[in-house]
Amino acid sequence: MTAIALPKDAPATPEVGDRLARLNALTRLQPASVILETALTEFGRGLAYVSSFGAESAVMLQLIADADRAIPVIFIDTGMHFHQTLQYRDLLTDQLELTDVRTVHPLSDHVRKHDVSGKLHASDPDACCEIRKVAPLAPALEGVEAWITGRKRSHGGGRVDLPVFEAAEGRFKVNPLLDWGAEDIERFMEARSLPRHPLTEQGYPSVGCWPCTVRPVDPRDVRSGRWAGRGKTECGLHLERRERPKVF
């Protein structure tokens, strides 16, 4: 199937709505493996996974390796990841024999113009995420019709009402793990003998960039250590354009 992106910033058409309804009906109450196989059948080589190689990423990466090791995996190296995350990326890539892991970087012109000191995260974390994470993803998704995410309803916030398939920002998104909780993640990790992100042993159940990641401030909320005290819960990858800062 040829990858054809949806029109950017356009409302979902009846055709898109019908397609979403069909896909969500097909995958209702289905396990993550079936959701992935359905996405592969629907989108073929127009399917990719955007991974942070964070604390829970090994689960989705293993499911992808089970389905098709050639599915492109896009990793955005913001320039501010913990070195342990970069090591974990390399370890999982090798162990799972993933054949198309693509590391993308912030555009140098953007960084020089807006964050030459590397301290924008302290004054405007939304703008920092826009420059170092959101903007680099756009060119990386050229030719991609649908991208897989690792989002889960159990993470709360705007994720509690996630559907399996959705359409946003000109593309489809697939959320195979939306109904997984911490116990599901743990069982799968143990059953498949998956290596842990090195920082989980140090008390980090959710790992992002080092300036904006601390141990959880609320033990009941695994993401409470992300942008703690900043009133921020998302990096921006899953926010609509109108919700993101106008940096450019």
Active-site annotation, residues: 235
Instruction: List, in order, residues 6 or more apart from 159 with CB less than 8 Å away.
Output: 151, 152, 153, 178
19: burial class by Cβ within 10 Å (0-12, 13-18, 19+)? middle
Q: Would you mind telling me the total number of residues written for the chain in this entry? A: 248
